[in-house]
Structure 1
Amino acid sequence: MALFKIVHITKYEYSWPIKESINEIRLFPHNFDNQEVLQHQLLITSNPKVEISTDFYGNSVGNFNILEPHQEMIIESQILVRVNHSLKIPAIDTTTLADLDRVKEKNSALQRLCIPDKIVNQKKIDSILKKNNFKEKSIIEIGQKCSTYIYKNFTYTKGITNIETTVDEILDHKKGVCQDFAHVLLQLLRSAGIPSRYVSGYVCSNNSTLRGEGATHAWVEFYTPTQGWLGIDPTNNVWTMDNHVKLSVGRDFNECSPVKGSFKGIAKQNLSVSVAISYEDGRLFEEKNEVKLKKVSDEAQRQIDLLEYQLQLQMRQQQQQ
């Protein structure tokens, strides 16, 4: 059993005032047998009303708008959570893919989570599975071997990928972070016919040496007919346990992104995310990350350049007066 206080701050900064910011957040930790949410508070710029609903996967989703012009938006989530996983690893289970097929026939939701993405380098995925003789192994063995393959053959490297990096790109350079490794593992498991889903959350090292602490973390859950959804973390090659705090699940990152939205206006935006984790023994781990965002279009860039030129011209005229 472990108790964590987690403060997650998402900060958007805009080069020019924007308005009518429309946002969707999945920052509400799951409350289930192994994870008890003791406190949760949201603090958002302008204190907008947050409408909360439940999505297809059972995640709590918040939606809010900020209508007035602003050049900064901060979303702060404060969580106090107790995690208690009675099992560090799954029970011995000889359930096979054939056993799983009989269950999938009656469950369209599981079938949807078995469909791999269409990628150029699918032969590489198929080769990895073939080398591991996946057809002759139990579902749990397949999951564990695929996670181990990623852990041993891919290098944990920050700053070279972003939320738009494809599985093909990750397979080419074999480097990335937790969300990249989760997407590769999803492709492997789904190509084997195993229902799998992306998990967004936090990893709280708690004196162990786990990669990904101090930022939002990602791992994978896959389905077995006998034990339900089992979590495995390919970044650290461990089954999820007391160190993992779950926020949301979905088919991929896009379906369980902690924060996403749009706005009216022409401006460049900078995004930074900081996560601070407080432990029961008084230790505090905090890290801030600058997030790579999609480049603005050429037309938007021309308009931004024009606005900046007009501002510089206006300042020169004021100085000459």
Structure 2
Amino acid sequence: MAIFKIVHITKYQYNWPIKESINEIRLFPHNFENQDVLEHQLLITQNPEIKISKDYYGNHVGNFNTLEAHTEMIIESRMLVRVNHSLKIPKIDPTTIEDLASFKKGSITLLRLSYPEVIENQKAIKAILQPILTEEKSVITIAQRCNQYIFEHFTYTKGITNIETTVDEIVNIKKGVCQDFAHLLLQLLRTAGIPARYVSGYICPNESGLRGEGATHAWVEFFTPTQGWLGLDPTNNIWTMDNHVKLSVGRNFYDCTPVKGTFKGLARQTLSVCVSIGYEDGRQFEEINDVQLQEVSSEVQEQLNYIDLLQQQQQ
């Protein structure tokens, strides 16, 4: 069992005032069997009213608007979470893919999470699975071997991918970060016929030195009829442990995006995310990342360049 104090700060900055910012956030830690949310607080610039609801996958979602003109928006999520994964390795489970068939028929959600994405290089996915599926194996064994394959054949490298990177691109370059490896594992499991979902959260540093620790993290959960949803972390080739804190689940990253929104105005925006993790013994870890945002259209880019020129002339 472990208790973590996590502070997640998202900061948007604009070089020109914008207005009517409309936002959707998934920054509410999960209450589930192995995770208890002891405290949670949200602090947002201009203190807007937040309307909270639940989405299709059971995540708490907050929606808020900021109508006044502003050049900065900070969203700070503070949480105190207790995690207790009593079984770090699942029980021996003989359930096969064929055994899953009847459970998937009775659940639209399981069916939805069983269909792989349509990608160009699906042949490469099937080629990876071929030696793994040569014999009749349990669902747990197949999932664990897919997890291990990614860890052994793909290199953890920051800065070469972004939120728009596709599974095809990951298969081609064989490099990426936790989000990329989670999407690849989802493609493998779903192609094999195993229901699987994307998980957004945090991995808190420990003495083993896990990859991706101290920041937002992503992993995968797959379904078994006897043990429910089991978590695998392909970035580290491990089952989820006491230091994995869950935020939200969905079909992919887009269902779990911590913050997304839109605004009125022409301005260049920058985004930085800071995650601070504190332990009961007083230790604290912090990581700050500048996030690469989606590219704008050429038309918008020309307008932004024109505004930059006007600003330079006024100086």
TM-score range, shorter chain: over 0.9
Select between 300-309 and 38-47 the one with higher mean Cα deviation: 300-309
Give the corresponding residue for 2:205: 205
Letter in structure 2 aligned against 1:182: A
How far the C-alpha of 1:240 sits from its partner, in A, is 0.7
Letter in structure 2 aligned against 1:232: L
How far the C-alpha of 1:59 sits from its partner, in A, is 0.4
**2: distance between equivalents of 1:90 and 1:42?**
35
**1: distance between equivalents of 2:297 and 2:15?**
15
Q: CA offsets per residue over residues 169-194 of structure 1, 9 Å max, x none?
A: 00111111000000000000000011
Give the corresponding residue for 1:158: 158
1:233-272 → structure 2 map (5 Å cutoff): 233-272=233-272
Q: Secondary structure in 2 aligned to 1:255?
A: helix
How far the C-alpha of 1:312 sits from its partner, in A, is 2.5
1:62 aligns with 2:59: no
**2: distance between equivalents of 1:150 and 1:312?**
49
Contact 1:39 1:80 in 2 (8 A): yes
Q: CA offsets per residue over residues 102-140 of structure 1, 9 Å max, x none?
A: 211111211110110111110010011102126611100
1:109-258 → structure 2 map (5 Å cutoff): 109-133=109-133, 136-258=136-258
**1: distance between equivalents of 2:191 and 2:162?**
24
**1: distance between equivalents of 2:21 and 2:133?**
50
Q: Which has the larger radius of gyration?
A: 1
How far the C-alpha of 1:204 sits from its partner, in A, is 0.8
Letter in structure 2 aligned against 1:196: A
1:35 aligns with 2:30: no
How far the C-alpha of 1:62 sits from its partner, in A, is 0.3
Q: Secondary structure in 1 aligned to 2:125?
A: helix
Q: CA offsets per residue over residues 276-304 of structure 1, 9 Å max, x none?
A: 11112211111101111111211111111
When normalised by structure 1's length, the TM-score is 0.96
How far the C-alpha of 1:214 sits from its partner, in A, is 1.9
1:307 aligns with 2:285: no
Q: Secondary structure in 1 aligned to 2:95?
A: coil
RMSD: 1.0
Q: Secondary structure in 2 aligned to 1:12?
A: strand
* Residue correspondences, number: 315
Q: Secondary structure in 2 aligned to 1:312?
A: helix
Letter in structure 2 aligned against 1:296: V
**2: distance between equivalents of 1:96 and 1:140?**
8
Give the corresponding residue for 2:77: 77
Q: Secondary structure in 2 aligned to 1:302?
A: helix
Contact 1:134 1:142 in 2 (8 A): no
1:8 aligns with 2:4: no
Q: Secondary structure in 2 aligned to 1:116?
A: coil
**2: distance between equivalents of 1:275 and 1:135?**
43
Contact 2:205 2:214 in 1 (8 A): no
**Residues 5 and 134 of structure 1: is their aligned pair in 2 closer, same or farther, counting only changes over 3 Å?**
farther
Q: Secondary structure in 2 aligned to 1:8?
A: strand
How far the C-alpha of 1:313 sits from its partner, in A, is 2.5
Give the corresponding residue for 1:318: none
How far the C-alpha of 1:203 sits from its partner, in A, is 0.4
- Runs of 5+ unmatched residues, structure 1: 316-321
Select between 131-140 and 118-127 the one with higher mean Cα deviation: 131-140
